[in-house]
Chain A
Amino acid sequence: MGKKKRNHPDVEDVLSRPWCYYCERDFDDLKILISHQKAKHFKCDRCNRRLNTAGGLSVHLNQVHKETLNAVDNALPNRQGLDVEIFGMEGIPEDVVNSHKQRVLQQYYEAQADRQAQTGNPAPGANAPKKPKFESPSDLKRRLAEHKAKKAAEAAGSSGDVTPLQGAQSPAAATQSPVPFHPPFPSHQVPHIPPQTSPPPYGQFPPYGQQAFPPSWVPGMPQVPPMPGGYSPGQYPSISPPFQGHPQVLRQNLPNAPGLPQRPAFGAPQVNSFQFQQMHQGHAQPSSPGPNQTQGVNGHNAAAFSASVDELIASTKQEMDKSKPSATEKSKKDFRLVYSDNEVSPEEKMATLPRYAFVPNNKPETVLGDVEGSVTGPVVGPDDVMDKSG
C-alpha cells in the first residue's frame, strides 16, 4: 500500500525544473524554456524576429528599427531590466535563484500537504520510518495533559499563550495574530495560516475574476522579496510570511498545469491541520527542522488525535475569522492616487487657471489682454458649485 509512486514529482524534480527569470514560469526542459524566452521576452514586436537574449534584441532594435529597448516585454515589473544577460537558466542572479527556490519549495510543500489532506497518504518519498501505531501510555497521558492545559488557557480567553518558540521564530511570524497551538508543534507551521491572504504586494493584480492567466501575463506580479538574511538553504520550508501571498495568488488563478505538482486548494486551515496530522503521524517533514519535531514523531492514539484535529480546525477557523478584517486593512494601506479629487475633474481644475480664462462675447484680443480679472467668473459657473453637492 502506498508503494506505487504517483506522478507527483519529488523535491529534486521540482527544483531542477528550468524556469524563466523574466516571468517565473517553469518548464519541462531547457529547450522549451529557451523557446519561451525567445517568443515571449526576446521577440521583436516589429518584425517578429526571435532573438536569443535581451541584449541581442536591443542591438537588433537599434540597428534594424532604430529604436531603443528599455524593458523586456512580458516581464515581471522588477525583472524588466536589461542589465542582466539571461539565456535560458544562464545569468540569473544568485539571490533571484534563491528566492525562486524558496517559492518553489513552499508551493511544493503546500501541494504535498494538500495531497495528503485529500488522500490521507504519507508524503511520497518521505523516508521517515512508518511510525508506530501506538504511543506509550505515559507519553499519551503527558500529551493529553498538555492539551488540556492548553484548552483551559484558551477557554480563559488568553490568546497570549504563544509559546516562546513561536515568538522567537522569525520577525515576520511575530506580526501575525498568534494562533493557539499545541505547544509541542513546531511553530514553523504558523506561516501556513493565511491571515495575510491579501497583502499589499499583489495589490496590482488585476481582479479578473477567476480567469486563468499565464504567469507571464500578470502585470502586477509582486516582486519576490529577497530572502531574509538568516535562511540557509536547509531552512527553506520555514516559509517566510511576506512571501506568502504570491503563490497563493497564482494558485487561485491558475488551472492545474500538466507536469506540475498539483496545486493545492486555497484552503489553508485544512492544510494546516493536516500538517499537524502529518506530524502526529510522524513523517519527518524534510522541511521542518524544528527541534520539537521528535515529539510529533512519537506517534498517536487515533481517538485523541481526531479530537485534537477537530479542535485545531475549529480554533484555526476562529483565528481566520478574526484576522480577516486586519488583512483587508492592510491591503488598503499603501496606496496613493495621483489625482484624488473625486468630485472635480482635472479639466475643470485646469479651466479655472488664469491662463485659460475666457470672457464670453468678447473678442479674442480682449481675452488675451485681461487675464487676472476674469479668472473664475464665467469659466467656473455657479453650476460647478452646485454640482459638488451631488
Chain B
Amino acid sequence: MSNQCELPDAPSDAISAVRFSPSSTKLLVSSWDKHVYLYDVSKEAGDSPRLIQKFEHRAPVLDVCWGKDDSEAYSGGLDWDVRRIDLKSSEQTVLSSHSSAAKSLAFSASHNILVSASWDCTLHIHHIGTTTTPATIPLPHKPFSLSLSPTRLVVAMASRQLHIYDLPALSALSAQASQAPPNTLELEPWQRRESSLKFMTRAVACMPNDEGYASSSIEGRVAVEWFDPSVESQARKYAFKCHRQTVDGVDVVYPVNALSYHPVYGTFASGGGDGVVALWDGVAKRRIKQYQKYSASVVALAWNGDGTRLAVGVSPGFEDGKEVEEGVIKIYIREVAEGEAKGKGGK
C-alpha cells in the first residue's frame, strides 16, 4: 500500500490518542496498555516507519501531547497524574496530580502552558518552566475533550456543556494565582455554551484560523460553530449527520470519536465508530473524501504539521452490550496527496 502504511509495534490495548509532532515526522501514541509510544513515520531515504521508544506508565494513559519541541511530551491517565516525559532520557516528572483520571491534555507553545482536564471536574493550568503550583480551575461537569486554537481553549464537558476560555487571559490569571495547593482559581469562561448536539460530546477540535470549532457526539453527528458571539456568526453554525449505516432498514448510528482540523486548508477529518474516516470542508459544507473502512472503530486522528499525513488510530470501540469489543489495534499513516484535503470551494 503506497498511500497508507501501518505502523509496526502497535500498542497491545486500545489507543487513546495519536499526536503528530508539529515539526517532524514523529508521532506520539498513548494507549490503555499503560504506555506512551514514540514512532518515527518518516519514509524518506529508505526509512521505514518504526517505533523509537515506548514509555511505561503506572496506569492506562488517556492522552498525550507534545511539548515545546520534539524532546518533550506530556501525558495523563488513570493514575491521576500529569507527567512530563523527557523523550531523550525517558525521565518522567509528575507535574501535578488530579483527584481522578486526567482525561485530556493540551499544550500551548505561545503561552508555554499545559492544560490538563480531569474527571475530577477541574482543569490544571501548568506554567511550564516555573515551579509554581498549577492553578486549578473548577468545571461544572466532567470534561471529555479539550482543544486549543491560537487564542482560545475549548473544553467539552458532560451534560452537553462547553466552556470557551480566552487563552491570554487564562494564562495571565493562572500565572498570578499563587495560593497553596490546590491553588483554586474561580475563572469565568469567556463563553459558556450548550452543545448544538443533543447527545454526549465526544470530541472537539478548533479551527486553525482561530474562528471556531467543530464538535462531535456519540450520535453520529458533527456540529461546526464560530466563536464570534454576534448573531450573524452564530447563525452560521450547523450540524450534520455522519458515520451512520443503514442495516436492514435500521439506521445504525456510530459515535464520532475523533476530529482533527487540517493545519493548512482548514478542512477537517472525522473518525467514527464505524471505522470510517471522512474529510469535510466545513465552510463549503461538503464532504471531500471518505476513506475505505478500517477494521475497527477509529478512535483517534491527527494531522502532521504540514497536513500531508494523517495518523489514524484504530482500535476496538466501546459499544452497547459489548463493553470492550475484540478487535485489532492498528495505527495507520495515510499519505494525503497534494490538494486531496483541500476544500472544493478553495479551488
The interface of chain A, by Cβ under 8 A from chain B, is 45-46, 65-67, 70-71, 77, 200, 203-209, 211, 213, 217, 219-220, 223, 334-343, 345-351, 353, 356, 358, 360, 362-364, 367, 379, 381, 383-384, 387, 390
Contact = CB atoms under 8 A, between A and B. Distances in A.
B290 interface: yes
B129 to A, nearest CB: 27
B51 interface: no
A208 B238 contact: yes
A11 to B, nearest CB: 32
Given A353-B324, A367-B58, A390-B140, A200 B200 contact: no
A350 B100 CA distance: 14
B159 A390 contact: yes
The 10 closest A-B pairs by CB, nearest first: A346-B318, A206-B240, A358-B59, A334-B250, A390-B159, A381-B100, A208-B285, A211-B285, A387-B142, A338-B254
Interface of B: 1-3, 14, 16, 32, 34, 56, 58-60, 62, 78-80, 97, 99-101, 103, 119-121, 140-142, 144, 158-159, 199-200, 202, 218-219, 238-242, 244-246, 249-255, 273, 285-287, 289-290, 292-293, 317-320, 323-324, 337, 340
B158 A384 contact: no
A381 B79 CA distance: 12
A377 B275 CA distance: 33
Contact of B251 (A217, A334, A351): A334
B318 A350 contact: yes
A83 B287 CA distance: 26
B283 to A, nearest CB: 11
B251 A345 contact: no
A345 B101 contact: no
Given A204-B241, A390-B140, A349 B318 contact: yes
A60 to B, nearest CB: 13
A139 B13 CA distance: 82
18 contacts: A71-B292, A200-B251, A204-B241, A217-B287, A334-B249, A334-B250, A335-B253, A336-B253, A338-B252, A343-B158, A346-B318, A348-B119, A350-B324, A358-B60, A360-B79, A364-B56, A381-B100, A381-B120
B219 A345 contact: no
Contact of A207 (B14, B62, B119, B239): B239
Nearest to B104: A347
Contacts of A208: 238, 240, 285
B3 A65 contact: yes
B249 A342 contact: no
A206 B241 contact: yes
A339 B273 contact: yes
A222 B135 CA distance: 52
A209 B245 CA distance: 21
B179 to A, nearest CB: 22
A387 B141 CA distance: 6
B78 A351 contact: yes
Given A203-B246, A219-B242, 5 more contacts: A67-B1, A67-B3, A342-B199, A345-B200, A384-B100
